[in-house]
Chain A
Amino acid sequence: MPGSSAPRVNSLALLILPSALLFALFFFLPIGLMAVMSVLTGNPVVMPNVAFTTKHYARMGNDSYYLEVISTTLRIGLWTTLVALVIGYPLAHWMARIKSRTGHALLLMAVLAPMLTGIVVRTFAWMTLLSDKGVINQILISLGLIARPLQLMYNEAGIIIGLVHIYVPFMVLTLTGVIGRIDERLEQAAENLGASPWRAFLEVTLPLSLPGILAGSLLVFALAISAYVTPILLGGFQIMTLPILIYQQISANFNVGFAAALGMVLLVISLSLVIAYNHVLGLVSGQRELQ
């Protein structure tokens, strides 16, 4: 019978349809549009005769200013990630291993509480701390430690401080999950065999938490290179990053094509990081795939 041999659609598969549609509509469509815009001479909706072009990308490659912006963005991203990791790892380790429930709750609250305040508010708070007439400089001057105010903001350092503060919780939460799943008895076994607590950490916990380190770093890096508000406020337009540049191209220069090309650069950086992450993870955990 012809009807019975037709492939039957698994009715459960239909359940993912709404989310698949939503995903396509709000994720792939905009990205696809952006990719298309980045290789067109103009906006096809208002200009009927647009043509294919690579000029937006060529412009980036030819002008050292744009390469400078890209490298500044990456540098800020790397430093933010590194500092967030150095601050976040001990915190995460503490949180994952703390015995008392109250202690754990308090730590979790301390990590999450800043996230309840808006980014703008937190950035302004940093400005009152870091500016020339800010709390830190005033204290240092009144103590006689410095004569003139230190340049703490309107530079990359200021941006990195602000970004670390905002993104450290992401690092901590990612790491806590991974470290918490490492059996404490592995460290004890190492100590039992003669390793000092520090050595046991280096030999056992650190390598086993590598997936968490990678995931947390990836997350923080991707968030940091696409941050907009903090680099503007703490950089005071002295420091140009990709997101700021993209915004300028759209709002001031109305150059949507170039903005789209810049956006594609940001996207490709993040994407290649994700691919590299999966690759590295495969290498470090390939040995453990049977677990």
Chain B
Amino acid sequence: MSAAIEIAGVSKVYDGGVRAVDTVAMDIRPGEFFSLLGPSGCGKTTTLRMIAGFDTPSSGEIRLDGADITHVPAHKRDMAMVFQNYALFPHRTVAENVAFGLRMRKVDKATIAAKVKAALAMVELAGMEDRRPAQLSGGQQQRVALARAIVISPRVLLCDEPLGALDKKLRQQMQFELKQLQKNLGVTLVFVTHDQEEALAMSDRIAVMNAGRVEQVGTPVEIYDQPRTRFVADFIGDTNIFRGQCVTMDQGTGIAVGNSLALALPRPVAAAQGEVVSVALRPEKITIAAADQSETRSSGTSARGTVESTNFLGGAVLYRIVLDGGQRVLAQQPNSGAGPLHTPGQAVALGWRPADLVILED
């Protein structure tokens, strides 16, 4: 009963010419946990509102299980939305809020009572039936909003940063519960967030958006390990981005960054000699060794530099290193307990495998 959503070349231009969403295309599969991830103002909410039917696309089509729903009014779409601010009805009790969708579907009273009870039990709010939304904490309100949405067994669940207002602990707990719930119900879930960790942890697939466009759609692993564009590489996690001119090296194609750093590329690129190419390298893919004893350790490219700062993160250590050529690089090492930390001012040698370099589109 979960549904597939196709978004085909959809744009939204607001009066005044703001192009909030620009020819977005994506296929959301039935039963999938699909995240829209991007910085503030990139068009996530607008996209979600068009799926829900609160906004009409300026062009393009939205299809639900193949049927064009672009102009179907919101109340006939059989989707349920959890709003960013919850949008609970302040004049209704918790139970009445949850019952609302069932009442609109003309479900009989006894069934409503049973379903409301079950839904509230599922979000662990049993016993709060007669409270008003204002008498609940933020986390409880959020769960009421969730219960109100899932109780109607919608074909699609739309969530607009539903965990945004929660503290870290509750947020992690709710992330887990939401994910469980979605799996158990088998519902298609479109999840909006600007928190990349949240998106990586929860999603089956992620669409990374920037300035109204979709930059990349993929699984969390693809998005993290194989970012397609500079924006994606930069937005997701910490990353080192090198820009340099395409050159021919002993090992094949490479790029020259500044005068003293040459990086071998993992595969040939279409770019001609001299053209500028960007590559990304994750901090945790870099190995660090004290300068004197390294040399032979890694088979790949290496560079020398000086530790600028050492950030102890608990499970890992993050180093900021200035290469001899002047470039700044982030390198992260697991806190494995082998040997002392490198201290600021220390000369170090960095190594990485060429395969860990990701060639980016601009």
Q: How far apart sit A200 and B100, CA to CA, in the bound complex (Å)?
A: 11
Among A202-237, those with CB < 8 Å from B are: 203-204, 207-208
| A189 touching B81, Cβ below 8 Å | yes
| B81 touching A192, Cβ below 8 Å | yes
With both chains docked as a complex, state the minimum distance between the C-beta of A270 and any C-beta of chain B, in angstroms.
Answer: 28
With both chains docked as a complex, state the minimum distance between the C-beta of A211 and any C-beta of chain B, in angstroms.
Answer: 11
Q: How far apart sit A231 and B132, CA to CA, in the bound complex (Å)?
A: 47
Is B79's beta carbon under 8 Å from chain A? yes
| A288 touching B83, Cβ below 8 Å | no
With both chains docked as a complex, state the minimum distance between the C-beta of B258 and any C-beta of chain A, in angstroms.
Answer: 51
| B79 touching A192, Cβ below 8 Å | yes
Q: Could you say which of A1-9, A65-73, A180-188 contacts chain B? A: A180-188
| B132 touching A288, Cβ below 8 Å | yes
Q: How far apart sit A256 and B70, CA to CA, in the bound complex (Å)?
A: 72
| B75 touching A204, Cβ below 8 Å | no
With both chains docked as a complex, state the minimum distance between the C-beta of B22 and any C-beta of chain A, in angstroms.
Answer: 21
Known A208-B90, A290-B134: A193·B15 in contact at CB below 8 Å: no
Is B359's beta carbon under 8 Å from chain A? no
| B85 touching A185, Cβ below 8 Å | yes
| A204 touching B52, Cβ below 8 Å | no
| A196 touching B91, Cβ below 8 Å | no
Is A191's beta carbon under 8 Å from chain B? yes
Known A99-B15, A192-B74: A207·B91 in contact at CB below 8 Å: yes
Is A287's beta carbon under 8 Å from chain B? yes
**Closest residue to A186 on the B side, CB-wise?**
B87
> Which of B53, B54, B80, B105 has the most chain A CB atoms inside 10 A of its CB?
B54
Q: How far apart sit A203 and B132, CA to CA, in the bound complex (Å)?
A: 16
Q: How far apart sit A208 and B135, CA to CA, in the bound complex (Å)?
A: 17
With both chains docked as a complex, state the minimum distance between the C-beta of A183 and any C-beta of chain B, in angstroms.
Answer: 7
Is A19's beta carbon under 8 Å from chain B? no
Interface size class, chain A:
20 to 34
**Closest residue to A285 on the B side, CB-wise?**
B91
Interface size class, chain B:
20 to 34
Q: How far apart sit A204 and B103, CA to CA, in the bound complex (Å)?
A: 14
| B80 touching A190, Cβ below 8 Å | no
Q: How far apart sit A102 and B238, CA to CA, in the bound complex (Å)?
A: 46
Is B148's beta carbon under 8 Å from chain A? yes
Is B104's beta carbon under 8 Å from chain A? yes
Q: How far apart sit A100 and B15, CA to CA, in the bound complex (Å)?
A: 9
**Closest residue to A199 on the B side, CB-wise?**
B104
With both chains docked as a complex, state the minimum distance between the C-beta of A227 and any C-beta of chain B, in angstroms.
Answer: 35
With both chains docked as a complex, state the minimum distance between the C-beta of B201 and any C-beta of chain A, in angstroms.
Answer: 27
> Which of A191, A194, A195, A290 has the most chain B CB atoms inside 10 A of its CB?
A194
Listed from nearest, the 8 A-B pairs whose CB atoms lie closest are: A193-B101, A194-B104, A290-B134, A189-B87, A291-B134, A185-B87, A191-B75, A191-B74
B contact residues vs A (CB 8 Å cutoff): 15, 52-54, 73-75, 77-81, 83, 85, 87-91, 100-101, 104-105, 132, 134-135, 148, 152
Q: Taking A188-B54, A191-B73, A194-B105 as given, write out 15 further A-B residue pairs in contact, using a Cβ cutoff of 8 Å, ordered by the A residue number.
A: A188-B87, A189-B81, A189-B87, A189-B89, A192-B77, A193-B152, A197-B73, A207-B91, A208-B90, A287-B91, A288-B90, A288-B91, A288-B132, A290-B134, A290-B135
Cβ contacts A to B, 27 pairs, < 8 Å: A100-B15, A188-B54, A188-B83, A188-B87, A189-B81, A189-B89, A191-B53, A192-B53, A192-B75, A192-B77, A192-B80, A193-B75, A193-B100, A194-B101, A194-B104, A195-B75, A195-B100, A195-B104, A196-B75, A197-B75, A200-B75, A203-B100, A207-B91, A208-B90, A288-B132, A290-B134, A290-B135
